[in-house]
């Protein structure tokens, strides 16, 4: 066999060891707090070995078969040093950033960051004496001008939450490296299947596995992969200190979801692109925000760095009344109205980019909504949206 398998193969086999569990294909769900040792020597040895990274069970909070399976498989996909799992995507984002900072530090955070991360920075981190400055997602290598003597972390998310701006990740990571700052990237949109932050110079790659990894809208899971042993040490300490623990049932669902990620993502990508192209042709639409669409301002970077797209994108309408906007989204039969995404079912969600940015200005006056293309037949999804645009026109 070749030395390194294709990602599609890695997804199926990494982090599984049927021989260990009597031939059972999937890892068993172990409900545990106490994990017994046979002797004092075994107890002491186990703690030492675990701290050095040996895969064994120490105490429930530090994970058992399912958390280990998920960590190992994700780490293989990310191409990192090691992966830690978290009880939510936000817990993963928070722990990754906290691992990088101390009192008196300065953080550069992209203006199009997932909203709750902005609050982590402006509330909790500010209270602990860490100052955060938000930056334009399009800054590229120009980020160097924003660096201060005490800049210790740069936070990226590409494409940006809600508005899908693409960042020049390798250019920003190179500057950060030169200035001895750590980089944390939220890579939930592409997943490590379609974009590999660590190969592009990022130190901590964050995944809200709640979305595409779990894939079935039924569990909250986060993961952080460290590029190196040194960064992993900081992450591990933070995980311990904050008492983080991903429940075994949810770890089970995430490692199971991961097995089918490749086939699901391909369908989300294709369906999302078809919907985006159809929506872009409607006369009431000002812009569609989707980096995989030729003509999108982020398309060149997407094409250079990413090997695929997921099914999530944004739509900006020309100015219409709230009544007309609601007529479009209310009463869709196949699209639920809701947050989160990455599940098998299609979703829409209204949003206003003005609520969530401070370093840049949103130019469009019209209302916006986000679309998550699920795994339904695309013709059916388009027919549903066609009815919605019909309702909007009647309400104009
Ligand atoms: C949903 C999301 C998160 C948070 O994940 P949860 O599991 O909901 O806590 C973080 N980042 C991005 C980009 C997300 O979309």
CA angle 126, 128, 133 (to 5 degrees): 30
SS3 346: coil
Choosing from 232, 259, 286, the residue where a domain stops is 259
In angstroms, the Cα distances linking 298 to 201, 276, 279 are 20, 15, 18
Phi, psi of 280 (to 5 degrees): -60, -25
Report which DSSP code applies to 267: H
Question: Rounded to an integer, what distance in angstroms lies between the CA atom of residue 11 and that of residue 251?
Answer: 15
Domain total for the chain? 2
In ligand 1, the atom with minimum distance to the C-alpha of 90 is 9
Choosing from 259, 275, 303, the residue where a domain stops is 259
CATH of the domain at 137: 3.40.640.10
Give the pair of three-digit tokens for residue 167.
């960042």
Cis omega before residue 379 (within 30°)?
no
193 inside domain? yes
Q: Which residues contact 243 (CB under 8 A, 6 or more apart)?
A: 61
Domain shared by 165 and 300, yes or no: no
182 inside domain? yes
Residue ID of nearest Cα to ligand 1 atom 6: 89
Domain shared by 276 and 337, yes or no: yes
Domain shared by 162 and 236, yes or no: yes
Supply the Cα-derived Rg of the chain in whole angstroms. 22
Domain around 171 = 79-259
Question: Rounded to an integer, what distance in angstroms lies between the CA atom of residue 185 and that of residue 207?
Answer: 9
137 inside domain? yes
- For residue 243, the CA-to-ligand 1 centroid distance in Å is 20
Question: Best substitution site from 112, 163, 165, 188 to test ligand 1's pocket, by max atoms within 8 Å of Cβ?
Answer: 188
Domain shared by 131 and 213, yes or no: yes
pTM (two decimals): 0.97
Domain shared by 272 and 233, yes or no: no
Q: Is 61 one of the annotated active-site residues of the chain? A: yes
Domain shared by 231 and 126, yes or no: yes
Q: Walk along the chain (396 residues) and give the pLDDT tens digit of each residue.
A: 556 789 999 999 999 999 999 999 999 999 999 999 999 999 999 888 877 777 789 999 999 999 999 999 999 999 999 999 999 999 999 999 999 999 999 999 999 999 999 999 999 999 999 999 999 999 999 999 999 999 999 999 999 999 999 999 999 999 999 999 999 999 999 999 999 999 999 999 999 999 999 999 999 999 999 999 999 999 999 999 999 999 999 999 999 999 999 999 999 999 999 999 999 999 999 999 999 999 999 999 999 999 999 999 999 999 999 999 999 999 999 999 999 999 999 999 999 999 889 999 999 999 999 999 999 999 999 999 999 999 999 999
Domain shared by 181 and 229, yes or no: yes
Catalytic residue among 16, 105, 114, 196: 114
């Amino acid at each position: 066999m070749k030395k390194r398998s294709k990602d599609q193969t890695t997804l199926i086999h990494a982090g599984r060891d049927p021989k260990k569990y009597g031939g059972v294909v999937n890892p068993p769900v172990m409900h545990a707090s106490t994990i017994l040792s046979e002797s004092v020597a075994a107890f002491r040895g186990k703690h030492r070995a675990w701290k050095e990274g040996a895969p064994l069970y120490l105490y429930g909070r530090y994970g058992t078969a399912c958390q280990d399976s998920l960590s190992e498989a994700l780490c293989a996909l990310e191409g990192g040093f090691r992966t830690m799992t978290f009880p939510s995507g936000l817990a993963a984002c928070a722990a990754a950033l906290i691992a990088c900072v101390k009192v008196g530090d300065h953080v550069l955070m992209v203006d199009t960051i997932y909203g709750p991360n902005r609050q982590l920075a402006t509330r909790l981190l500010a209270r602990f004496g860490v100052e955060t400055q938000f930056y334009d997602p399009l800054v590229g290598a120009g980020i160097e001008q924003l660096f201060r003597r005490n800049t210790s972390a740069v936070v990226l998310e590409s494409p940006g939450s809600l508005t899908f701006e693409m960042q020049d990740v390798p250019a920003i990571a190179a500057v950060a490296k030169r200035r001895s700052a750590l980089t944390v990237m939220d890579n939930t949109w592409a997943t490590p299947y379609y974009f590999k932050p660590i190969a592009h110079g990022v130190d901590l790659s964050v995944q809200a596995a709640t979305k595409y990894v779990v894939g079935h809208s039924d569990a909250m899971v986060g993961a952080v992969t460290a590029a190196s042993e040194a960064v992993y040490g900081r992450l591990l300490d933070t995980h311990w200190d904050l008492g983080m623990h991903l429940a075994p049932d949810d770890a089970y669902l995430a490692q199971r979801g991961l097995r089918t990620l490749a086939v699901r993502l391909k369908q989300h990508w294709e369906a999302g692109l078809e919907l985006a192209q159809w929506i872009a042709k409607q006369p009431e639409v000002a812009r569609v925000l989707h980096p995989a669409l030729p003509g999108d301002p982020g398309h060149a970077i997407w094409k250079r760095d990413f090997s695929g797209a997921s099914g999530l994108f944004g739509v900006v309408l020309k100015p219409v009344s709230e009544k007309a906007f609601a007529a479009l989204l209310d009463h869709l039969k196949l699209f639920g109205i809701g947050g989160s995404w990455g599940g098998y079912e299609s979703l829409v969600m209204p949003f206003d980019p003005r609520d969530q940015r401070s370093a840049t200005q949103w130019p469009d006056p019209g209302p916006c909504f986000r679309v998550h293309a699920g795994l339904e037949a695309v013709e059916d999804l388009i027919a549903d949206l066609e009815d919605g645009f019909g309702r909007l026109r009647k309400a104009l």
